[in-house]
Structure 1
Amino acid sequence: MSLVPDPAWPTLVLAVVMLADAAMSVHPPRFIRDFLDGVAFPRHWWWVLVVVKLMAAGGLALGLVVPGIGLAANAGVVCYFLTAAVAHLRARFLRREFWLNCLGMLALSMLVLVASYLR
Structure 2
Amino acid sequence: MTTIPDPVWPVVVLALIQFADGILCLRPVAFIAACFEDVRFPRRWWWIAAPIKFAAALGLIAGIWIPYLGVVTTGALVAYFVVAISMHVRARDLGRNLFVNATGMLVLCVGTLIWCFLA
What is the distance in 2 between the residues matched to 1:84 and 1:101?
10
* Matching residue of 1:49: 49
Deviations 1:70-93 (A, max 9, x none): 111010111100110011111111
Contact in 2 for aligned 1:35/1:97 (Cα 8 Å): yes
Deviations 1:35-71 (A, max 9, x none): 1100000111011111111110000000011111111
* Matching residue of 1:84: 84
* Percent of matched pairs sharing the same residue: 38
What is the distance in 1 between the residues matched to 2:16 and 2:90?
29
- One-letter amino acid of the structure 2 residue matched with residue 92 of structure 1: R
* Matching residue of 1:14: 14
What is the distance in 2 between the residues matched to 1:6 and 1:78?
21
Look up the SS of the partner of 2:45 in the other structure.
helix
* Matching residue of 1:28: 28
What is the distance in 1 between the residues matched to 2:110 and 2:23?
22
What is the distance in 2 between the residues matched to 1:23 and 1:82?
22
What is the distance in 2 between the residues matched to 1:93 and 1:8?
35
Q: By how many angstroms is 1:112 displaced?
A: 0.8
* Matching residue of 1:118: 117
- One-letter amino acid of the structure 1 residue matched with residue 64 of structure 2: L
Unaligned runs of 5+ residues in structure 1 are: none
Q: TM-score, normalised by structure 1?
A: 0.95
Q: TM-score, normalised by structure 2?
A: 0.95
What is the distance in 1 between the residues matched to 2:81 and 2:71?
16
Is 2:107 the counterpart of 1:100?
no
Which contiguous aligned blocks of 4+ residues in structure 1 show a shift greater than 2 angstroms? none
Contact in 2 for aligned 1:77/1:109 (Cα 8 Å): yes
